[in-house]
Amino acid sequence: MTPLTWHAQQKEDLTAGERAADRMRNFMGSWRFVGGFVLFMVVWAAINSFASGWDPYPFILLNLFLSMLAGLQGAILLIAAKRQDAIAEVLAQHDYDTNLAAKADIEELMRVNASQWELLQEMHQVLAELRSPGKE
């Protein structure tokens, strides 16, 4: 079985409320929702303007529903934004930890490289001494 990625694990750990907030946020932020909402308001206005509707102009009941919807949408967006902030914080910490580990690895490689450079310098020096004509 393949181990879960961080994102897959994060999705598995969501509560039912967080999943619902994400679904609602994704739906309310879509063109399908906007089109359906505009269609609903046009139908509401047409029924209540041309027929003997339950909410005559200026559509007080529709305004009440729109206000309640705006309040709910605000709360849902805040829940989703808080989740995104928490995810960003965890990812930033992961990036920081990864960078620290990479820094330690790079510093170790630099030490190895420096010691190899010193060995090469010593070898060049020994070779130069061996090649010099004045030595026997």
Mean of the per-residue pLDDT values of the chain: 87
How is the chain split into domains, by residue range?
Answer: 16-131
pTM above 0.85, yes or no: no
Report pLDDT for 75.
Answer: 86
Residue, of 113 and 28, whose pLDDT is higher: 113
Q: Tell whether the model's pLDDT for residue 124 goes beyond 70.
A: yes
Angstrom distance (rounded) from CA 93 to CA 57: 55
Mean pLDDT for 124-135 is 85
Residue 83 neighbours by CB under 8 Å, 6+ apart: 18, 21, 22
Helix (H) or strand (E) holding 3: none
The mean-pLDDT minimum among 6-10, 92-96, 124-128 falls in: 6-10
Q: Tell whether the model's pLDDT for residue 10 goes beyond 90.
A: no
Q: Tell whether the model's pLDDT for residue 136 goes beyond 60.
A: no
